[in-house]
Amino acid sequence: MTAVTHPENIPVTASESLVFEKRNGAASLDATLRSLVEIPAALLVLVEVGVLLAGVVARYVFHQPLVWSDELASILFLWLAMLGAVVAFQRGEHMRMTAVIGMVPPPARAFLDVVAIAAALAFLLVVVEPAFEFASEESFITTPALEIPNVWRAAALPVGMGLMILTALLRLAEVGSRRLVLGALGLVAALVAVMVLLQPVLQDLGNLNLLVFFVGVVAAAVFAGVPIAFAFGLATVGYIALTTDTPMLVVVGRMDEGMSHLILLSVPLFVFLGQLIEMTGMAKAMVAFLASLLGHVRGGLSYVLVGAMYLVSGISGSKAADMAAVAPVLFPEMRSRGAKPGDLVALLSATGAQTETIPPSLVLITIGAVTGVSIAALFTGGMLPGVVLGATLCAVVWYRYRGEDLSHVRRASWGEIGRAFVISVPAIALPFLIRAAVVEGVATATEVSTIGIVYAVLAGLLIYRRFDWRRLGPMLIDTAALSGAILLIIGAATGMAWALTQSGFSADLASAMADLPGGAPAFMAISIVAFIILGSVLEGIPAIVLFGPLLFPIARQVGIHEVHYAMVVVLAMGVGLFAPPFGVGYYAACAISRIHPDEGMRPIMGYILALIVGLVVVAAVPWISLGFLG
């Protein structure tokens, strides 16, 4: 064969040169596609801020509400979620667990990396046609305010999925080894074929299929390094296609429902706000003050993280948004002081579970809505359980950092603390401004982040005199990618929750729990275990909608106060939500922190144990939940 010269002047064969040219061509197309998606995704973040802010100003300042603002924000939000998911896919930023594949030899690891792309491609190919069908059916629905066909919103699903399919194909084309690509595609195709051939057997298994798909398939995919969203999606479409007669169109509809809650729009906006806080110097000023107070204490900023999550929890109505508001402020300084990334994301996840009952909590509101329990009573009862779990987390922080070397850290004088406080006042005022805007009715939980964004921009420009316009574009793209990765997980998890509902599993579980011997203590113990497991796959609101109407009457029947039971159930679901390897919240925390999930696996175990201890205390002492009810 004729030899040619590689760009690095290494002689290669003509066939190898052709492969190299194909890879170069695929990489060039990939880069072009990436630019075409990143620009509109970044612009959508800005437009969403403008639309929501316009709604706040029109309603509160001019007393002329824009009836179309929420509707337009909702339409654009699905496009932001899907294009953000595409950007995350292009950048390889969808959350995946590689703890297992990290232990295998490099050749096997490379193969599993290609399998992850092939598995994601398989899921997308299955749902893209139903997504087109779903969008076409939405064309018959007219939006109430703008009076336009709802296809303008729903089209985001097939377009996003189509772009991810194209990205996956380009990524496979960029892989240097054809053998790797064919092997990965062959393995995924073979597994799909085996499951299809086993369909008659699976249809006879009944609810055992829940173990096959939602435990077996999910676990195998997650441990093989398939991104979490696609692992959930594969399990759901496999279960629906092979064991039921339900059309795949319904799965797409449930994904749309999960990703389209307007309250979730606070996720990208708070992510962007967190980046602004860091870029404008507000974070530096705030952390400098906090460090002057607790910097000389071992593990001091970890205590600050626990307290900060307690204070901001519930502002946005989204736990992911709460974490996005806190992590960018504290993590850089904590890293500079020697904190390990794994411990940072582990504590952030644990505080997410700790603060699940802090009002205003969407889960508590949902409980009140579906069970008839007083929401005011739930809000009152939710404060102290979070303190108890926070205390258990602080005990772990004390133990882990008891030997921290602070010889290089000088205790600040009162004068230095005072100066740091004055400088930090505009930054410290931000969380109070956000909470006041919600409490006073100036803005909704979704809109309030826009007030924070405007405040941060003005503080950066006028007070701290620090605003790098060149960073604005990359920040917007990062916001879109991070939000898309989180929202696709939520959409896939919502589809999985719906599949569990249709199986009748929820009713069977409630019946079994009602028949338990041992009365209230046994029912409470089983509830804790059940809701930890449910929280890891369903998240709070879907689980409450499924099981609240069934289990709360049983709790009343065995003598457990509803508010007390609600606190225990919500905290148990929080532990499940933020506990790896299945907890969606843990991967959201990793995405927000930009820390690999593997790094937090070991450190989080101590915090999860502390949360369980606190949960048991809350369950055993009803006064913690009921003491302030009067």
**129-146 confidence digits (pLDDT tens):** 999 999 999 989 998 988
Look at residue 445 and tell me whether its pLDDT is greater than 50.
Answer: yes
Q: What is the mean pLDDT of residues 291-306?
A: 78
- Between residues 360 and 292, the one the model is more confident about: 292
CA atoms within 13 A on the CB side of 162: 9
Q: What is the mean pLDDT of residues 370-380?
A: 80
- Between residues 184 and 629, the one the model is more confident about: 184
Q: How confident is the model at residue 12 (pLDDT cuts 50, 70, 90)?
A: very low
pLDDT for 392: 94
pLDDT for 538: 61
Q: What is the mean pLDDT of residues 16-37?
A: 74
What residues contact 407, with CB distance under 8 A and at least 6 apart? none
Point out which residues pair with 13 in neighbouring strands.
3
pLDDT for 18: 47
Say what the pTM is.
Answer: 0.77
Domain ranges in the chain are 15-260, 265-352+405-471
Q: Which element (helix H / strand E) includes 418? A: helix 414-439
C-alpha distances out from residue 600 to 271, 448, 585, 607, Å: 21, 31, 13, 11
CA atoms within 13 A on the CB side of 128: 14
Q: Checking DSSP bridges between strand 3-5 and strand 11-13, what pairing results, if any?
A: antiparallel
Residues 614, 598: Cα–Cα separation, whole Å: 25
Q: What is the mean pLDDT of residues 354-378?
A: 78
Tokens of 493: 């998890």
- Between residues 429 and 168, the one the model is more confident about: 168
Point out which residues pair with 4 in neighbouring strands.
12
Tokens of 549: 């109407």
Q: Which element (helix H / strand E) includes 42? A: helix 14-56
Q: What is the mean pLDDT of residues 568-589?
A: 85
Tokens of 552: 């709360």
Q: Where are the alpha helices (DSSP H) in 57-105?
A: 69-90
Q: For the chain, give the percent of residues with pLDDT over 70.
A: 89
From the centroid of its chain, how far is CA 369? 24
Q: How confident is the model at residue 540 (pLDDT cuts 50, 70, 90)?
A: low
pLDDT for 239: 94
Q: How confident is the model at residue 186 (pLDDT cuts 50, 70, 90)?
A: very high
Q: How confident is the model at residue 486 (pLDDT cuts 50, 70, 90)?
A: confident
Q: Which element (helix H / strand E) includes 226? A: none
Least confident of 144-148, 369-373, 509-513, 529-533: 509-513
Phi-psi label, residue 3: left if phi above 0, alpha if psi -120 to 50, beta otherwise:
beta
- What residue type is 433 in one-letter code? L
Residues 199, 196: Cα–Cα separation, whole Å: 5
Q: What is the mean pLDDT of the chain?
A: 83
pLDDT for 8: 37
Q: How confident is the model at residue 40 (pLDDT cuts 50, 70, 90)?
A: very high
Contact assessment for residue 279 and residue 467, using Cβ atoms and an 8 Å cutoff: yes
Contact assessment for residue 628 and residue 383, using Cβ atoms and an 8 Å cutoff: yes
- Between residues 136 and 360, the one the model is more confident about: 136
**3-state SS, residue 4:** strand
Q: What is the mean pLDDT of residues 342-349?
A: 90
